[in-house]
Structure 1
Amino acid sequence: MNQIIQRLSEVETAASSIIEEAGAKKKQMAKDQDARIAAFEKQVHEETQKKISAQQAELEKKIAEELEAQKEELEKQLAHMDRIYEESHSAIARQLLAKIVAQ
């Protein structure tokens, strides 16, 4: 009977040892998985930041180009208006004076 009890005790000790090892393995696997997840998240974050930076730089370049084009167009329009004024300001003034006098 003592042998049976001793054998059961040995089995129970072995089972406890196996359960402890499994628990330790489980904790280590969870720790490893957390590390892999953190590394993946870091990689995704860095890639996302690079893409955002690239798109932002591209948008800033487009905006600068559009602003430059608008500035050039405005300068052309102002130059055109100056030419019209220089070419016909006397005639416009006479027409205005004639309208004022006619009233």
Structure 2
Amino acid sequence: MDAVIEKISEIESAATSIMEHANEQKKALAKEMEERTAAFDAQLENETEKETEKLKADMEIKMNQRLKKQQDELQKILEAMEKNFEVHHTQYAKELFNNMIKE
């Protein structure tokens, strides 16, 4: 009977040891997963930041190109208006004078 009790005690001790080892492995795996998750989050945040900066730079380049194009177009319009005025300024002055004296 003592041998049976001793064997049961050994089995219980072994089972306890196995359970403790399993709990340690479980904790180690949980810690590893937490570290991997943190590393993944950091990497994702870094990649997102880089992509955001790239998009921002691209948008700024496009905006500056559009602004330059609009400035060039405006300059052409102003030059055309000045040329038109130089050619027709006498006519405009006469029309303005005639409109003023009619009233």
TM-score by length of 1: 0.90
Cα-to-partner distance string for 1:56-87 (whole Å, 9 max, x where unaligned): 11111000000001111111111111112222
Tell me which moved more, 65-74 or 81-90. 81-90
2:6 equivalent in structure 1? 6
Structure 1's unaligned 5+ residue stretches are none
Residue 100 of structure 2 corresponds to which residue in structure 1?
100
Q: How many pairs align?
A: 103
The answer for the alignment partner of 1:65 in structure 2 is 65
Point out where structure 2 has 5 or more consecutive residues left out of the alignment. Answer: none
**Which runs of structure 2 are paired with 1:67-82 in the superposition (5 Å)?**
67-82=67-82
Q: Which moved more, 1:58-67 or 1:36-45?
A: 36-45
RMSD: 1.2
SS of the residue 1:97 aligns to: helix
Identity level (%) = 36
User: What is the alpha-carbon distance in structure 1 between the residues aligned to residue 89 and residue 3 of structure 2?
Assistant: 124
Amino acid at match of 1:33: M
Consecutive aligned runs of 4 or more in structure 1 exceeding 2 Å deviation: none
Return the offset for 1:14: 0.8
CA separation in 1, counterparts of 2:25 and 2:102? 104
